[in-house]
Amino acid sequence: MKNKNSPHILIIDDDIELLDLLGSYLGQRGYIINRFKTAEEGLVQIETKKIVPDLVICDLKLPMMNGLEFINRLNKNQSQIPVILMTSEGSVEVAVEAIKNGAFDFALKPLHFPQLLISIQRCLHNPSYSRETEETQQFEQDVLSGIVGKSPGFLHAINMARRVSNSNANILIRGESGSGKEIIARAVHEFGEKRTGPFIPINCTAIPENLLESELFGHAKGSFTGAHDKKTGLFEEANKGTLFLDEIGDLSLSLQAKLLRVLQERKIKRIGENQYRDITARIICATHKDLKKEVTDGKFREDLYFRLNVIPISMPPLRQRREDILPLSDYFLKKFATLNHSKVRGFNAESIKKLEQHFWRGNVRELENAIERAVVLSSDDLIKPEDLALEDNETFNEPKLPTNENYYEEIKSTSMSLEELSKKYIRFIFDKNRGAKEQTAKDLGIDRKTLYRKLKEMNLEGTT
């Protein structure tokens, strides 16, 4: 039931059918709704204070003034009204940029109304939100401040983190070591309701197996040699927050069984105790291994795999996110220049080329270490190739790319169908671009969805 204190939502979209449907859906849930077909109409109502909404839901693609321009106008007027931007799948990068510029959140079309409702409630009922402060205006920027990247694969992972941040479903993050799996886990934590609690990461390979169980579950005093006092485990310490278990594929089978029980019952028992304790921590897992293969080889429990793999999120390796290399390099340069009081302010042309051409076997972690070393060693204001100290032979393990001559010679010497020829050419362009799907789609003149379908047919979809 609506009353004068009900939240006031202004909806802007030139799709009349969606405008009516969304307005009806939210109106039935007690919100006061105003609907406009253009951003100009809504902006006039806000600027003249005829309407003072608590939230604006605005489409990105609008005639005359689009969603981004609308947000910029609100910012210029020093309005602190939060905006949720509606956008299509292909405009995710634009939507993320909008968040950095002041939008509170974005929703993908076709709209999933329950998910949008969660975003609305998170915005309106966030205890840190107040029109009298700038905290909410800065919230999304703060979350994204350490998240650097613009490649499609990276943006898709961030979007997935946002969409599942308030769900209770188990998340499994997959990616090579050093690719940034913890960044995605932190994004899930920071975007969600548990952000007020602790975020506790633990690498399952960094602790000896005989100590790992005690670290996770805790122990009672005297439960084993060396247990001189009782210990609270990480499952308990992460209560009301998030526990991130990295490299879950390296757990022993006995610990896998105990983790499965924790996920099923949401209870733990300290070593040496008979008392079960409830846990409220969200558990996010990650691995660099192919867990399907590990299951086949008998090294990973199948029931645990299916329990973990409810929402898989893939983090592509850095060599397949070439668009992210320079933004990450700039970010790390500023970070380490500040920490080391260095005068370094950028890279010369040769070092930029070297950064872009390097294979980055160690992914973002290797890049970060290389930039830190360069900042410390550089005696100039621009980093030179020798400051980076990258081993040239590390590029030798890149995929061997066929030359044009070899490619055409093979076609001429082999009788093949049009479908086989098409697949061969797709593979040629895909390899040439080192697995970068966006560039491959552009070179082939097809959209990304068509490319994904083709790659799946060719069993190449896992190479992203």
Domain boundaries, the chain: 8-144, 152-222+232-314, 318-395, 404-463
Q: Name residue 32's beta-bridge partners.
A: 8
Going by C-alpha positions, the residue among 222, 219, 253, 221 that lies closest to residue 235 is 219
Q: Can you give the pLDDT at residue 150?
A: 82
Report whether pLDDT(281) > 50: yes
- Burial per residue of 72-89, b for 16 or more beta-carbon CB atoms within 10 angstroms, e otherwise: ebbeeeebbbbbbbbbee
Rounded to whole angstroms, what are the CA distances from 334 to 278, 356, 427?
43, 18, 38
Structure-token pair, residue 439:
């560039």
Q: What does 304-358 look like in DSSP terms, one character per residue?
A: HHHHHTTEEEE---GGG-GGGHHHHHHHHHHHHHHHTT----EE-HHHHHHHHH-
Residues 6 or more apart whose Cβ sits within 8 Å of residue 366: 178, 318, 360
Structure-token pair, residue 297:
């080889």
Q: Can you give the pLDDT at residue 136?
A: 38
Task: Tell the CATH superfamily of the 152-222+232-314 domain.
Answer: P-loop containing nucleotide triphosphate hydrolases (3.40.50.300)
Q: Can you give the pLDDT at residue 133?
A: 39
Average pLDDT, the chain: 83
Q: Can you give the pLDDT at residue 456?
A: 78
pLDDT in tens, 348-403: 999 999 999 899 989 999 999 999 999 999 989 999 999 998 865 444 344 444 44
Read off the pLDDT of each residue in 205-231 and give the average, rounded to a whole number.
80
pLDDT in tens, 309-328: 999 999 999 998 988 999 99
3-state SS assignment for residue 45: helix
pLDDT in tens, 106-153: 888 888 888 888 888 878 865 444 443 344 344 444 445 567 888 888
Report whether pLDDT(421) > 50: yes
Residue 451's pLDDT band (cuts 50, 70, 90): confident
Residue 12's pLDDT band (cuts 50, 70, 90): very high
Question: What secondary structure letter does DSSP report for 362?
Answer: T
pLDDT, greater one: 446 or 97: 446
Going by C-alpha positions, the residue among 213, 187, 194, 190 that lies closest to residue 202 is 213
The burial of 158, by beta-carbon neighbours within 10 Å (0-12 exposed, 13-18 middle, 19 or more buried), is given as buried
Q: Name residue 10's beta-bridge partners.
A: 34, 56
Q: Can you give the pLDDT at residue 2?
A: 55
Going by C-alpha positions, the residue among 133, 87, 137 that lies closest to residue 110 is 87
Q: Compute how many other C-beta atoms are within 10 angstroms of the C-beta atom of residue 6.
A: 15
For the domain made up of 404-463, the CATH class stated in words is: mainly alpha
What Rg value do the Cα atoms of the chain yield, rounded?
26
H or E segment at 17? helix 16-27
Which position has the token pair 């969660």?
118
Q: What is the spatial distance between Cα 89 and Cα 438, in angstroms, rounded to a whole number?
A: 14
Instruction: Provide the CATH topology of domain 318-395.
Output: Helicase, Ruva Protein; domain 3 (1.10.8)
Which position has the token pair 């097809």?
446
Q: Is the backbone peptide bond immediately before 110 cis, with ω within 30 degrees of 0?
A: yes
Q: What percent of the chain has pLDDT over 90?
A: 40
Specify which of 339-353, 378-392, 429-443 reaches the highest per-range mean pLDDT.
Answer: 339-353
Q: Same topology for domains 152-222+232-314 and 318-395, yes or no?
A: no
What's the distance, CA 213 to chain centroid? 29
Q: Can you give the pLDDT at residue 81?
A: 87
- pTM greater than 0.75 (yes/no): no
CATH number of 8-144: 3.40.50.2300
Q: Can you give the pLDDT at residue 91?
A: 59
Report whether pLDDT(49) > 80: yes
Among 24-28, 92-96, 449-453, the least confident range: 92-96
